[in-house]
């Protein structure tokens, strides 16, 4: 029933495409996933995939619209539960969505609560700070459940990354339109405060104003450049790293290394006793940069990954697809087994030595959240495994033992224009003593409340600063 429910709300304005064309795209997508995705059945069984493939193939017909087809593939994608695997709607679909009235609020989504943080029109400013309990008679619990099973914006059996992304800019409004419905009006039920009764009101949607000429979903905040900052207050140092993806900012690998060394040299010279590392909005990047930072605070040499594996070394089919990002692999670096091809020569598998010079021996606190994904999630998993510090915040946006990536299959389905991306390497983090089906759970969970968010108060950072000031916590 869930699958049928998702497809009930199809806007009349989406132009239909002929079934054979979409069937061709479906078959390309199915072949690419089943033959080349390195960990397709990690969180969902082969039987689940096969039954979903069969059901969706039967649903494709001469009346299938572009949006319907995108939703169908998204349903498949949602089974992967690996946030590096995703499909992007065509510009055709996005142009229609962005020119239509959408849910008129920015929201903060957590623990199945939807809190309004901003509005697109002054007419609705009185809603800011309220909690919405339902939209068009669909409870928020149901909406989050529908989105979880309709999109791949998550890792493992954690919604932390999904909720983090829905809480940015127009992402919730876009997701509601893409995966549930796109009405012109919204009947909302809400509570003005915790003690108030539920109020019902019907409001009109608002046409969004995209930040970029090329439309996208989900939207992401612009990366800070430079991607790191450092400050010292008293005997406490605060280091913020907003990305390890050096290729999207002006800093190169050497700049990161120099920054880390300069910071820890200053910490050493000034005899700083407490260090806070903030990676809450760091969506990942180069794992070796994350390990470079870890080598200053961890107590023993370590390896970042247990192994890296791919299904095949032959990517001719993927490379032949439209707009394909060509995959090239040197065969001499791999060994063939019954389970795939394992990388045997790479610096990412080498043991990483801790720093002899400027190694930090004081108290470390690491701020984390749903925005901490990919290589940053690996950093957190290793920090927790080796007890390199006290983790504070909310669950990370990755999986505790797995982070797929390094090289990616990227291509466009020829008829629908849907862009497909998924990793071709399965990577096992060298972590233990955690739940492999969840993200990294912090040692101290601190959930911001709506007042803190509206007042732009960083309650998580303040909590750590208070702990340090009171000398009530030690590693």
The phi and psi torsions of 282 (rounded to 5 degrees) equal -95, 110
Of 124, 191, 126, 178, the closest CA to residue 151 belongs to 178
Average pLDDT, the chain: 91
The phi and psi torsions of 27 (rounded to 5 degrees) equal -65, -35
User: What is the C-alpha to C-alpha distance for residues 228 and 239, in angstroms, rounded to an integer?
Assistant: 7
User: Mind listing the pLDDT tens digit for each residue in 36-68?
Assistant: 999 999 999 999 999 999 999 999 998 899 999
Flag whether pLDDT at 1 surpasses 60: no
User: What is the C-alpha to C-alpha distance for residues 317 and 32, in angstroms, rounded to an integer?
Assistant: 8
User: Looking at per-residue confidence, does 475 or 269 come out higher?
Assistant: 269
Of 417, 442, 298, 435, the closest CA to residue 21 belongs to 417
CB distance 427 to 398 below 8 Å: no
Tokens in use for 23? 């069937």
CATH class of 100-204: mainly beta
Of 336, 345, 285, 291, the closest CA to residue 314 belongs to 336
Domain boundaries, the chain: 100-204, 228-473
Report the 10 Å Cβ neighbour count for 254: 9
Mean pLDDT of 84-103: 93
Mean pLDDT of 153-161: 91
pLDDT band at 72 (very low <50, low <70, confident <90, very high): very high
Tokens in use for 260? 């880390």
How many angstroms separate the Cα of 359 from the Cα of each of 75, 261, 273, 301, 446?
A: 47, 10, 12, 12, 28
Mean pLDDT of 90-102: 92
User: Mind listing the pLDDT tens digit for each residue in 179-219?
Assistant: 999 999 999 999 987 677 899 999 999 998 776 667 889 99
User: Mind listing the pLDDT tens digit for each residue in 265-305?
Assistant: 999 999 999 999 999 999 999 999 999 999 999 999 999 99
Q: The dihedral of CA 431, 239, 163, 130: what is its sign?
A: positive
pLDDT for residue 198: 92
Flag whether pLDDT at 31 surpasses 50: yes
pLDDT for residue 194: 66
Beta bridge pairs of residue 238: 231, 276
CB distance 237 to 229 below 8 Å: no
User: Mind listing the pLDDT tens digit for each residue in 232-258?
Assistant: 998 999 999 999 999 999 999 999 999
Tokens in use for 315? 């990517």
Flag whether pLDDT at 32 surpasses 80: yes
User: What is the C-alpha to C-alpha distance for residues 397 and 163, in angstroms, rounded to an integer?
Assistant: 9
Of 384, 390, 399, 393, the closest CA to residue 436 belongs to 399
pLDDT for residue 5: 43
User: Mind listing the pLDDT tens digit for each residue in 335-375?
Assistant: 999 888 999 888 889 999 999 999 999 999 999 999 999 99
User: Mind listing the pLDDT tens digit for each residue in 306-323?
Assistant: 999 999 999 999 999 999
pLDDT for residue 8: 41
Report the CATH superfamily, name and number, of domain 228-473.
Answer: 2-enoyl-CoA Hydratase; Chain A, domain 1 (3.90.226.10)
Of 419, 452, 400, the closest CA to residue 93 belongs to 419
pLDDT for residue 353: 95
Angle between helices 66-78 and 46-59 (to 10 degrees): 170
């Amino acid at each position: 029933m869930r699958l049928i429910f998702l497809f009930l709300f199809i806007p009349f304005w989406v132009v239909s495409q002929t079934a054979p064309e979409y069937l061709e795209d479906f078959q390309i997508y199915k072949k690419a996933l089943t033959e080349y995705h390195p960990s397709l059945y990690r969180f969902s069984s082969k039987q689940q995939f096969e039954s979903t493939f069969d059901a969706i193939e039967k649903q494709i017909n001469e009346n299938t619209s572009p949006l319907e087809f995108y939703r169908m593939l998204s349903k498949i994608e949602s089974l992967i539960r690996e946030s590096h695997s995703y499909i992007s709607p065509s510009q055709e679909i996005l142009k229609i969505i962005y020119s239509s009235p959408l849910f008129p609020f920015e929201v903060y989504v957590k623990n199945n609560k939807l809190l309004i943080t901003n509005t697109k029109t002054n007419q609705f400013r009185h809603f800011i700070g309220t909690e919405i309990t339902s939209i068009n008679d669909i409870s928020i619990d149901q909406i989050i459940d529908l989105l979880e099973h309709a999109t791949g914006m998550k890792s493992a059996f954690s919604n932390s990354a999904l909720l983090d992304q829905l809480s940015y800019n127009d992402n919730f409004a876009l997701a509601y339109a893409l995966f549930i419905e796109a009405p012109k009006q919204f009947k909302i039920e809400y509570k003005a405060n915790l003690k108030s009764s539920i109020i019902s009101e019907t409001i009109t949607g608002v046409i969004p104003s995209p930040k970029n000429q090329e439309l996208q979903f989900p939207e992401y905040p612009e990366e800070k450049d430079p991607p790191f900052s450092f400050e010292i207050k008293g005997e406490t140092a605060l280091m913020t790293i907003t990305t390890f993806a050096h290729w999207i900012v002006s800093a190169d690998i050497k700049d990161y290394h120099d920054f880390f060394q300069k910071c820890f040299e200053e910490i050493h010279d000034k005899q700083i006793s407490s260090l806070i590392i903030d990676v809450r909005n760091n969506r990942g990047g180069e794992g070796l940069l994350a390990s470079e930072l870890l080598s200053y605070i961890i107590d023993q040499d370590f390896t970042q990954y247990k192994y890296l594996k791919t299904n095949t070394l032959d990517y001719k089919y993927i490379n032949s697809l439209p707009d394909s990002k060509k995959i090239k692999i040197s065969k001499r670096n791999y060994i063939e087994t019954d389970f795939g091809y394992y990388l045997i020569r790479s610096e990412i598998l080498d043991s990483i030595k801790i720093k002899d010079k400027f190694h930090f021996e004081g108290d470390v606190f690491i701020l984390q959240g749903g925005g901490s994904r990919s290589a940053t999630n690996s950093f957190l998993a290793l920090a927790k495994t080796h007890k390199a510090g006290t983790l504070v915040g909310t669950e990370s946006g990755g999986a505790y033992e797995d982070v797929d990536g390094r090289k990616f299959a990227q291509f466009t389905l020829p008829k629908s224009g849907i862009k497909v991306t998924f990793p071709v390497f399965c990577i096992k983090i060298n972590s233990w003593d955690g739940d492999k089906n969840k993200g990294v759970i912090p040692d101290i969970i601190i959930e911001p409340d709506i007042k803190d968010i509206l007042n732009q108060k960083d309650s998580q950072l303040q909590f750590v600063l208070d702990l340090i000031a009171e000398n009530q916590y030690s590693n």
